[in-house]
């Protein structure tokens, strides 16, 4: 079969994940084990690779039973309560919170104090239960309202001050639409509304580039773990611009999707390591193009 294949140059780990993985690898080069509070990246194959080096994933309940040891905080960040627990238990934290997320946490904490004092609401646009979102909510004493769509705004009193933030990996167009709806409702109630552009610039820049990449190929093979929030956003973006977009997990390509002469684009989420994209490229060459 004749295929033209290209790997998206912008795909692969984001800077925050690269930093976390490198810190874990550096520590494990001199130690047999390292605890990670939650999965360091939402990618099963990468987790398996790091587990073989000694990385052990734990949850907050397990961390509560650990004493005088070392725990890695991943790029998603954590609420203040996690650091307080670490201090009580004599735990050394390897803090890999993404600098973008760290700035967002500080901004949310400062804004929450002002909005809360005025009887208003701090709203976070993000995936409920997502690690980054949980950390952000923790910086509002647990009082932020998390919304996933415009339909969830009805519970908010827009006659009082409202401040809107976004999870760093959300879609920029969706956030813009949510911002405009919040502004409209606030104006109708004569309330005060502020929105903050807190989507990561690296992530936002990838959206436009990935849309163009998807349109420039006949078929898109999107490589990501299904549990990745960013993966779901970028996969749907690719589907929007190219209906022949297919999710590839664990190297499994859906049968019958490739046609002779297709131009194939390979891309992935910010939680997809570059080596997985390259492995898929090699697999296509060895098992489809060169197979007679």
Rounded CA separation 108/102 (Å)? 10
Mean pLDDT of 61-85: 96
pLDDT interval class at 15 (50, 70, 90) = confident
pLDDT interval class at 213 (50, 70, 90) = very high
Measured in residues, the chain has a length of 292
Contacts of 53 (CB under 8 A, 6+ apart): 24, 25, 28
Residue 214 has pLDDT above 60, yes or no: yes
Residue 291 has pLDDT above 70, yes or no: no
Structure tokens of 291?
Answer: 């197979």
Bridge partners of 64, per DSSP, are: none
Q: Are residues 91 and 45 in the same domain?
A: yes
Rounded CA separation 167/230 (Å)? 10
Q: Are residues 104 and 184 in the same domain?
A: yes
Domain end (from 195, 230, 260): 195
Q: Are residues 163 and 238 in the same domain?
A: no
pLDDT interval class at 215 (50, 70, 90) = very high
Residue 290 has pLDDT above 70, yes or no: no
Domain end (from 66, 98, 130): 98
Angle between helices 131-138 and 99-117 (to 10 degrees): 40
Q: Residue for token digits 């769509």? A: 149
pLDDT, residue 226, reads 84
Mean pLDDT of 258-268: 93
Q: CA–CA distance from 216 to each of 167, 244, 273 (Å)?
A: 29, 12, 23
Mean pLDDT of 86-115: 96
Rounded CA separation 109/103 (Å)? 10
pLDDT, residue 202, reads 81
- Burial of 43-56, coded b for 16+ CB within 10 Å and e otherwise, reads bebbbeebeeeebe
Q: Are residues 227 and 282 in the same domain?
A: yes
Planar angle of CA 245, 249, 253, nearest 5 degrees: 60
**Domain containing 261 — which CATH number?**
3.40.1010.20
Average pLDDT, the chain: 93
Q: Are residues 87 and 74 in the same domain?
A: yes
Q: Are residues 252 and 263 in the same domain?
A: yes
Q: Are residues 22 and 106 in the same domain?
A: no
Domain count, the chain: 3
Whole domain around residue 83: which residue ranges? 15-98
| Positive or negative: CA dihedral 219, 224, 230, 236 | positive
pLDDT, residue 70, reads 97
Helices then strands, counting H and E runs in the chain, come out as 10, 12
Residue 287 has pLDDT above 80, yes or no: no
* Cβ pair 199, 189 in contact under 8 A: no
Predicted structure pTM score: 0.82
Active-site residue (options: 46, 132, 188, 227): 132
Residue 192 has pLDDT above 90, yes or no: yes
pLDDT, residue 179, reads 97
Dihedral through CA 139, CA 174, CA 18, CA 102, nearest 10? -20
pLDDT, residue 142, reads 94
Residue 289 has pLDDT above 80, yes or no: no
Q: Are residues 43 and 107 in the same domain?
A: no
SS3 11: coil
Q: Are residues 224 and 179 in the same domain?
A: no
Rounded CA separation 7/223 (Å)? 11
Mean pLDDT of 110-134: 95
Neighbours of 25 (CB within 10 A): 14
132 is catalytic: yes
Mean pLDDT of 62-80: 96
pLDDT, residue 206, reads 85
**Domain containing 47 — which CATH number?**
3.40.50.11270
Q: What is the pLDDT of residues 147-188, one digit of tens each?
A: 999 999 999 999 999 999 999 988 888 999 999 999 999 999
Mean pLDDT of 199-224: 91
Planar angle of CA 141, 166, 236, nearest 5 degrees: 135
Rounded CA separation 40/95 (Å)? 12
Domain end (from 195, 227, 253): 195
* Cβ pair 219, 258 in contact under 8 A: yes
Quick one: how far is CA 277 from the chain centroid?
Answer: 18
Residue 207 has pLDDT above 80, yes or no: yes
Q: What is the pLDDT of residues 33-69, one digit of tens each?
A: 999 999 998 888 889 999 999 999 999 999 999 999 9
* Cβ pair 8, 281 in contact under 8 A: no
Structure tokens of 75?
Answer: 């790029």
Q: Are residues 20 and 75 in the same domain?
A: yes
pLDDT interval class at 212 (50, 70, 90) = very high
């Amino acid at each position: 079969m004749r295929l033209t294949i290209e790997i998206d140059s912008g795909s692969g780990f984001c800077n925050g994940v690269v930093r976390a993985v490198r810190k874990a690898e550096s520590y494990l080069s001199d130690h047999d084990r390292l605890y990670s509070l939650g999965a360091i990246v939402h990618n099963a194959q990468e987790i398996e690779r790091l587990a073989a080096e000694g990385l052990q994933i734990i949850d907050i309940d397990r961390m509560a039973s650990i004493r005088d040891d070392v725990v890695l905080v991943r790029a998603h960040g954590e609420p203040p309560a996690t650091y307080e627990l670490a201090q009580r238990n004599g735990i050394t934290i390897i803090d890999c919170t993404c600098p973008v997320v760290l700035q967002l946490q500080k901004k949310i904490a400062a804004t929450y104090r002002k909005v809360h004092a005025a009887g208003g609401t701090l709203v976070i646009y993000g995936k409920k239960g997502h690690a980054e979102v949980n950390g952000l909510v923790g910086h509002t004493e647990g009082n932020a309202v998390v919304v996933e769509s415009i339909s969830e705004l009805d519970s908010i009193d827009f006659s009082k001050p409202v401040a809107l933030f976004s999870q760093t990996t959300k879609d920029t167009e969706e956030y813009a639409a949510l911002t405009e709806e919040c502004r409209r409702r606030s104006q109708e109630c004569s309330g005060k509304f502020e929105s903050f552009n807190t989507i990561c610039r690296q992530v936002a820049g990838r959206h436009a580039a990935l849309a163009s990449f998807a349109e420039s190929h006949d078929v898109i093979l999107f490589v990501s773990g299904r549990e990745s929030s960013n993966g779901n956003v970028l996969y749907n973006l690719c589907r929007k611009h190219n209906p022949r977009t297919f999710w590839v997990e664990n190297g499994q390509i859906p049968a019958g999707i490739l046609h002779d002469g297709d131009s194939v684009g390979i891309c992935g989420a910010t939680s997809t390591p570059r080596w997985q994209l390259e492995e898929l490229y090699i697999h296509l060459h060895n098992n489809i193009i060169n197979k007679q």
